[in-house]
Amino acid sequence: MMDRAEEEINNIIDEKQISPNLIHVVPGDITKPNLDMDITYQELFINNIHYVFHLAAIYALAVPKSIAFNVNVRGTQQVNEWVKTLNHLKRYVYFSTAYVSGKRTGKILETELDCRQEFKNHYEQTKFEAEVLVDQLKVNIPTTIIRPGVVCGHSKTGETIKFDGPYFMLNLMDALKTFPIPYIGKSDAYGNFVPVDYIFESTIYLAHATKGEGKTYHLADPNPYRMREVYSMLMQEFLGKMPKWTTPLTLARLSLSLSVTRKWLRVEKESLDYSRLLAEHDCSQAVQDLKGSGISCPDFKEVVPAIVQFYREHKNHPQYQIKID
């Protein structure tokens, strides 16, 4: 992804009018010792790195187990070992996911991790296993663990890097726009959607705040809407109409078991599991520690126009659509 990284950095330099010398891309591989970095960089970093943000992961819901384990678990093991070599580290920030809770239901606390839960897919399981490894470092390494909910576009611009999560609903609506579109199943599940700018701003603040050391945070919506409400909001904004009927979830899953249907609708079958998950990811600690920072999670209803507009403008661009098998 070197070319993509260089392109993004050039965009940042132009937009922010900063010196090109402030950002450097270092090629490597997190699944290998010392992240497979050139020895020159390794020697430079040992005494000069203060903050590490570990975001590298495979997070497709349909990812095969072997790939997920290699990147998410083995990769995190290697990053952990490398972090231990840094002599002046002030904070190690690990990006997990709220869905390390797996199939658990009810209120899920930020202080909870291993509750003998089962998982819906290999993504969840390997992110859980990776977080367990990072959590063990808290005793000796200044660590903050971030568990985002389902990340959507920027609250003001709608910009995102790929159309997954809530965008699967928009993909479905786009494919079926000439038909009466149904709700998918009946459920009281809540949607856990958070704008990407809230994730970044909160993480940057908590990564530098003394009170963030040694803690795990759910960066989730403290006032979430139910999935049916989210679905209705998106359809109203995108198509100017509302769902008129409901199709059984079992029928939807059966339809998405066919590759041709998945590719037509541009929806992963695994995404349906989240439309009926009766879990509430408590984010009291995050809300408390963000007080006074001016950072808060926007009301999802206020974000919908921006993310729908960005989707409308870029829905046919292959850069944003994920590959559906």
- What HEC string does 71-116 produce? HHHHHHHHHHHHHCCCCCCCEEEEECCHHHHCCCCEEECCCCCCCC
Beta strands in 178-271 (DSSP E): 183-184, 193-195, 216-219, 246-247
* SS3 sequence of 125-155: HHHHHHHHHHHHHHHCCCEEEEEECEEECCC
Instruction: Give kind and range of the element (H or E) at residue 35.
Output: none
pLDDT tens per residue across all 325 residues of the chain: 889 889 989 999 998 899 988 998 899 999 999 999 999 999 999 999 999 999 999 988 889 999 999 999 999 999 999 999 999 999 999 999 999 999 999 999 999 999 999 999 999 999 999 999 999 999 999 999 999 999 999 999 999 999 998 999 999 999 999 999 999 998 889 999 999 999 999 999 999 999 999 999 999 999 999 999 999 999 999 999 999 899 998 999 999 999 999 999 999 988 888 888 899 999 999 999 999 999 999 999 999 999 999 999 999 999 899 888 8
Residue matched to tokens 């809407």? 225
Q: How far is CA 277 from CA 270, 274, 280, in A?
A: 12, 5, 9
pLDDT at position 289 is 98
| Phi–psi pair at 10, nearest 5 degrees | -60, -40
pLDDT at position 275 is 82
Measured distance CA(170)–CA(4) in Å, rounded: 26
pLDDT at position 59 is 85
